[in-house]
């Protein structure tokens, strides 16, 4: 009883907080319960503002209970494109036999982003360190400083496109060696911080078991090559693809 009341108070406080009002339909009770659990476990101490409000998820700055910066990505259970999400889960041995309904898909998706971050980090790719996952809520390292999220590659002047390209190419190769294809790689999912490039948004990344992984990889190569070409680098999508898949 008392615990229920505490949760309700917590939820109502969050619902009233300015940064959660930006949301159209706000979150459901189960999402608030997940956040509440992360708060009780010390992963989240206080919320800052939203960094991004996207189609599937919102990303917030927050502090953990020791005052360290974290990023909190909250997926909407009512994501409009869950059909597409489901397709990205197909063939992935980690999610074999999951239920096909909206909720199950979004929860698996969040778990998948967490696992992909871990796997990418182990493969030597610079990604936000995954910290905790609870239902549709993912806590990870904030890329940026003192509550200030770093810009994406699309938002900065790229000083040395050749070098930056080589870094991205190496990341793609390492991911592939670890059995992963990002699937949405572009200047929008690369964050620039402290002279480093950081790969983000790996929820849709598929394993090489996925029927379309090769198509996704080719698309990633085209996006990356196009961007760096526009920056004046002498690169090409096919050469990039060959580099990534050669062992």
Instruction: List, by residue number, the catalytic residues.
Output: 184, 201
Question: Considering the rule CB under 6 A, would residue 143 count as an interface residue with ligand ADP?
Answer: yes
Interface with ligand ADP, residue 149, by CB under 6 A: yes
Residue 9 tokens, joined: 């108070």
Helix (H), strand (E), coil (C) string for the chain: CHHHHHHHHHHHHHHHCHHHHCCCCCCCHHHHHHHHHHHHCCCCCEEEEEEEECCCEEEEEEECCCCCEEEEEEECCCCCCHHHHHHHHCCCHHHCCCCCCHHHHHHHHHHHHHHHHHHHHHCCCCCCCEEEEECCEEEEECCEECCEECCEHHHCCCCCHHHHHHHHHHHHHHHHHCCEECCCCCHHHEEEECCEEEECCCCCCEECCCCCHHHHHHHHHHHHHHHHHHCCCCCCHHHHHHHHHCC
Q: Which does 59 bind (CB under 5 to 8 A by kind): ligand ADP, Mn ion, none?
A: ligand ADP
The answer to whether 223 contacts Mn ion (rule: CB under 5 A) is no
Q: Is 59 in the site for ligand ADP (CB under 6 A)?
A: yes
Binding letters toward ligand ADP, positions 183-212, x by CB under 6 A: -----xx-x--------xx-----------
As a three-state string, the secondary structure of 182-226 is CCCCCHHHEEEECCEEEECCCCCCEECCCCCHHHHHHHHHHHHHH
| Residue placing its CB nearer to ligand ADP in the complex, 11 or 126 | 126
For residue 161, the partner it binds in Mn ion, ligand ADP, none, with Cβ less than 5 to 8 A by kind, is: none
The partner residues of 70 in beta bridges, in order of sequence, read 62, 141
The reply to whether 144 sits near ligand ADP by the rule CB under 6 A is: yes
Binding test (CB under 5 A) with Mn ion, winner from 58, 111, 189, 231: 189
Q: Under the criterion CB under 5 A, does residue 220 sit at the interface with Mn ion?
A: no
Does 235 sit near ligand ADP (CB under 6 A)?
Answer: no
Selected from 54, 68, 124, 232, the binder of ligand ADP by CB under 6 A is: 54
Site string for Mn ion, 149-188 (x = CB under 5 A): ----------------------------------------
Q: Which stretch binds ligand ADP (CB under 6 A): 17-25, 86-94, 142-150, 229-237?
A: 142-150
Residues that bind Mn ion (CB under 5 A): 189, 201
Q: Which residues are near ligand ADP by CB under 6 A?
A: 51-52, 54, 56-57, 59, 71, 73, 128, 140-144, 149-150, 152, 188-189, 191, 200-201
């Amino acid at each position: 009883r008392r615990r229920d009341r505490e949760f309700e108070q917590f939820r109502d406080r969050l619902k009233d907080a300015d940064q959660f009002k930006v949301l159209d339909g706000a979150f459901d009770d189960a999402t608030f319960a997940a956040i509440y659990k992360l708060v009780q476990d010390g992963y989240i101490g206080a919320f800052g503002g939203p960094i991004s409000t996207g189609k599937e998820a919102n990303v917030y700055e927050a502090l953990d209970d020791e005052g360290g910066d974290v990023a909190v990505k909250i997926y909407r259970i009512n994501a409009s494109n869950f059909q597409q999400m489901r397709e990205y889960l197909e063939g992935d041995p980690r999610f074999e036999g999951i239920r096909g309904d909206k909720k199950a898909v979004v929860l698996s998706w969040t778990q998948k982003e967490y696992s992909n971050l871990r796997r990418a980090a182990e493969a030597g790719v610079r990604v936000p360190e995954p910290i905790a996952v609870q239902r549709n809520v993912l806590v990870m390292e904030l890329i940026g400083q003192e509550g200030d999220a770093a810009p994406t590659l699309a938002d900065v002047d790229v000083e040395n496109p050749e070098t930056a390209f080589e870094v991205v190419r190496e990341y793609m190769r390492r991911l592939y060696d670890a059995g992963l294809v990002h699937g949405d790689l572009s200047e929008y999912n690369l964050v620039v911080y402290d002279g480093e490039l950081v790969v983000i948004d790996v929820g849709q990344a598929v394993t090489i078991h996925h029927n379309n992984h090769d198509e996704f990889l080719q698309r990633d190569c085209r996006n990356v090559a196009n961007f760096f070409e526009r920056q004046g680098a002498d690169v090409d999508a096919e050469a990039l693809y060959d580099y990534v898949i050669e062992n």
